[in-house]
Structure 1
Amino acid sequence: MASLSPGWVRYAERVLGRPVTPHLCTARSPQQVMGSLVKDYFARQQNVPPEKIFHIVVAPCHDKKLEALREGFFTALHGARGTDCVLTSGEVAQMMEQSDLSVKDAAVDTLFGDVKEAVVRRHDGVGSDGHLAHVFRHAAKELFGEHVEEITYRALRNKDFHEVTLEKNGEVLLRFAAAYGFRNIQNMVLKLKKGKCPYHFVEVLACPRGCLNGRGQAQTEDGHADKALLRQMEGIYSDIPVQRPESSAHVQELYQEWLEGTDSPKVQQVLHTTYQTPEPCTDSLDMKW
């Protein structure tokens, strides 16, 4: 089960425990990986001590703030927190309005000096998803020698629950699902506990319609999600050209120069994590669903 959604991970650890946590993907979330990139790779590039870098992340989700505080997500190499501050996109928009700032006033830079704004690329998916598509293609190729180009999502119970299958000669080889929102998550967990979950991989996101619909996004005056803005963001995102990570020269460069190969101990140390089921906590950071 995917582990990129901090709300889902916290719910799994704090409430569900076993038998769910052993099924969580060990890959760190994008925010955690970026923290390692900034505090280790970028710091060495710039010859700056990691503790001298203040790393700010802009996210559509309030739960990313809690994720940044997790003790286990300090950068393993230097003992420094990978993300020092998380601002939601709604908070940034509010600050810009109050200060009369425009996005056009800010220059766009990158970890790689030869990448320009005009060649920004995205992963597969309509917004916050994409893990399912990447894992599905990789599994199809590595396990069955099948090269998958187009992926067809089939809606089942509702618009936030989809199924993807790989079939050959009438046999289902892979069965993946995308489950967004806690209604779908709870149904999936119930099947898992009963030993009746038919899926090899599930892309789980806590927010209905995914992270673009996160509670940290700009909202209407009455505190509801701005549906028109959501549709606009989905349209803008879908217009960005797709580049699969395995075809990126920069990804290959990072694996060789920074991570010392694709199967090195450093890969496990920097890109993967573990999950626990701690004792019930009553501090101010605890969440009740």
Structure 2
Amino acid sequence: MSHKFSPALRSADLSDFIAPSQNCIVSLKGLKPKTEKAENEYMIKPIGKSPPPEVVKVSLKDCLACSGCITSAETVMLEKQSLEEFISHINSEEAVIVSVSPQSRASLAAYFDLSPAQVFRKLTAFFKSLGVRAVYDTSCSRDISLVESCYEFISRYKKHHSAGDGENVSKLPMISSACPGWICYAEKTLGSFILPYICSVKSPQQVMGTVIKHHISKKLGYTPDKIFHVTVMPCYDKKLEAARDDFVFSVDHGEENDADDDGSAMKIPEVDIVLTSGEVLDLIQSKSIDFKALVDVPLDRLLTNVDDKGLFYGVSGGSGGYAETIFRYAAKNLFNRDIEGPLQFRIIRNSDFQEVVLEVDGKVVLKFALCYGFRNLRNVVQKISKGKSEYDFLEIMACPSGCLNGGGQIKPVAGQSANNLIQQLGNVYMQDVLIASPFDNAIVKNIYAEWLGQPGSEKSRMYMHTQYHPIVKSIASELHNW
């Protein structure tokens, strides 16, 4: 299963597994007594023909906070991120809400030979037949993430070019934060030097969780603890992102059932479960239904980018469109340049590393790049560490070809190559989707008007932004990974 995670998450010490002679360093530190059962608990079984009699048990959050292993797939069972857990909550008293990413929508569309719009309507029918309360589209939350990212970039750019030399200079290039594999690699391997460069805006997955649990829940008549939020993503790394302590909040209604056993406030995750595109396909096939024959049903438009004519809308770019959207916004707001038509990205080293520039009076004033895959990622990080980066913004994704090629996507069918599938997904992704600016999104405007105020406001920063933490390697970890 380790191959399902992104290359960045599997790199260096992050891909180490616990050999038969090793123990989990969490257990060595005495943080997990044998009798304790942690929330979101997983079992790590040593690899080998003769496993030891006991199994080390740690939670997913322990793994994220640890400087040891994420481990290979045979050793980590994400029990709380499974189809079984999803089904069990459908049959509970909670309102289950599913948010589907456009990349997963494209993956299912390619597999079933349908348009993304047809897939989303049939997927809505399928989930609701199981008992799901609502099905939304994360293109909507992506637009919020893009708006906040645009504001953050403008602020950074102005501070960077107006301040003198010193520690208070705003860091450029600003690096996108939507890829959890990249974030985990940055925190665990690169450390504190790189973190100030990373955009503080949450990913579309976590923005959607925040909006649903803090705002939309009230519209639907539920308290946050009565909503079980599930996302469908192209990437296994998203399961790790959802488990971060940064994306858990406390609620205390003053009622007995709203407190933990120790009397403290309830801890509620923004996203309860992440399912991959492939896992959703497994679920569909397990029900032995003809997915293509499902009747289309009306969409839940409260948080779905669909217009009155039933057409989807959003930005282009299979990995979120961060570079393109921020580039256009910066060109207009910093240099009063309206850019019409597609951006002219130029391939530099390979198709996974492309750049685009804006020239004013013969001088390059903006330089952005797409950087996909671990090989390209390491090169740009090395230049940043030496102070030699020439870019203002980097859209970094851990997977080669970006999010459409995430480890959780449906695999090629018999006789189809991986490259052909990626090309097919690229063609399907924007099929029947109108290109629209996130700043023109009526749903986004309403969320700001009703709840957040203005982009970049104090309330927006409270709910739509996060922070990153360097993980210091322990001596025990170094010895066990030696």
TM-score (norm 1): 0.90
Partner deviation per Cα, 1:32-82 (whole Å, 9 max, x = no partner): 000011112210101201111110000010000000000011247885211
Q: 1:241 to 1:77 in 2, by over 3 A?
A: farther
Q: 1:106 to 1:53 in 2, by over 3 A?
A: farther
2:247 maps to 73
Matched residue SS, 1:111: helix
How far apart are the structure 1 equivalents of 2:368 and 2:465? 22
Q: 1:176 to 1:45 in 2, by over 3 A?
A: same
Q: CA deviation at 1:168?
A: 1.7
Matched residue SS, 1:118: coil
Do the aligned residues in 1 keep the contact of 2:192 with 2:469 (CA within 8 Å)?
A: no
Do the aligned residues in 2 keep the contact of 1:218 with 1:225 (CA within 8 Å)?
A: no
What RMSD over aligned residues (CA atoms) do the two structures have, in Å? Answer: 2.4
**Which of 314, 322, 325 is the matching residue for 1:134?**
325
How far apart are the structure 2 equivalents of 1:167 and 1:207? 30
Percent identity of equivalent pairs: 39
2:379 maps to 187
**Which of 472, 475, 478 is the matching residue for 1:279?**
472
Q: CA deviation at 1:220?
A: 3.9
AA aligned to 2:277 is S
Q: 1:215 to 1:21 in 2, by over 3 A?
A: same
1:241 maps to 434
How far apart are the structure 1 equivalents of 2:301 and 2:251? 22
Do the aligned residues in 2 keep the contact of 1:35 with 1:83 (CA within 8 Å)?
A: yes
Do the aligned residues in 2 keep the contact of 1:56 with 1:85 (CA within 8 Å)?
A: yes
1:15 maps to 189
How far apart are the structure 1 equivalents of 2:449 and 2:377? 37
2:447 maps to 254
1:285 maps to none
How far apart are the structure 1 equivalents of 2:474 and 2:180? 17
**Does 2:146 correspond to 1:146?**
no
**Does 2:254 correspond to 1:88?**
no
AA aligned to 2:287 is S
Do the aligned residues in 1 keep the contact of 2:316 with 2:430 (CA within 8 Å)?
A: no
Partner deviation per Cα, 1:150-179 (whole Å, 9 max, x = no partner): 311100000000001001221101011110
Do the aligned residues in 2 keep the contact of 1:6 with 1:64 (CA within 8 Å)?
A: yes
Matched residue SS, 2:212: helix
How far apart are the structure 1 equivalents of 2:406 and 2:474? 25
AA aligned to 2:364 is V
Do the aligned residues in 2 keep the contact of 1:180 with 1:206 (CA within 8 Å)?
A: yes
2:301 maps to 110
Matched residue SS, 2:359: strand
With 90-99 and 9-18 compared, the bigger mean Cα shift is at: 90-99
Matched residue SS, 2:366: strand
Q: CA deviation at 1:262?
A: 2.6
2:361 maps to 169
AA aligned to 1:134 is T
How far apart are the structure 2 equivalents of 1:17 and 1:181? 19
Q: 1:194 to 1:112 in 2, by over 3 A?
A: closer
Matched residue SS, 1:241: strand
Q: CA deviation at 1:147?
A: 1.5
How far apart are the structure 2 equivalents of 1:124 and 1:227? 20
Do the aligned residues in 1 keep the contact of 2:412 with 2:421 (CA within 8 Å)?
A: no
How far apart are the structure 1 equivalents of 2:435 and 2:454? 25
Give runs of ≥4 in structure 1 deviating > 4 Å. Answer: 75-79, 112-117
Q: How many pairs does the alignment contain? A: 281
Q: CA deviation at 1:84?
A: 0.3
Q: 5+ unaligned residues in a row in structure 2: which ranges?
A: 1-174, 253-266, 476-480
How far apart are the structure 1 equivalents of 2:212 and 2:296? 19
AA aligned to 1:205 is M
How far apart are the structure 1 equivalents of 2:474 and 2:235? 22
**Does 2:457 correspond to 1:264?**
yes
2:232 maps to 58
With 28-37 and 115-124 compared, the bigger mean Cα shift is at: 115-124
Q: 1:76 to 1:258 in 2, by over 3 A?
A: farther
2:102 maps to none
How far apart are the structure 2 equivalents of 1:217 and 1:244? 27
**Does 2:344 correspond to 1:156?**
no
Rg bigger for which structure? Answer: 2
Q: CA deviation at 1:264?
A: 2.8
Partner deviation per Cα, 1:17-42 (whole Å, 9 max, x = no partner): 12111100001000000001111221
How far apart are the structure 2 equivalents of 1:230 and 1:105? 28
Matched residue SS, 2:377: helix
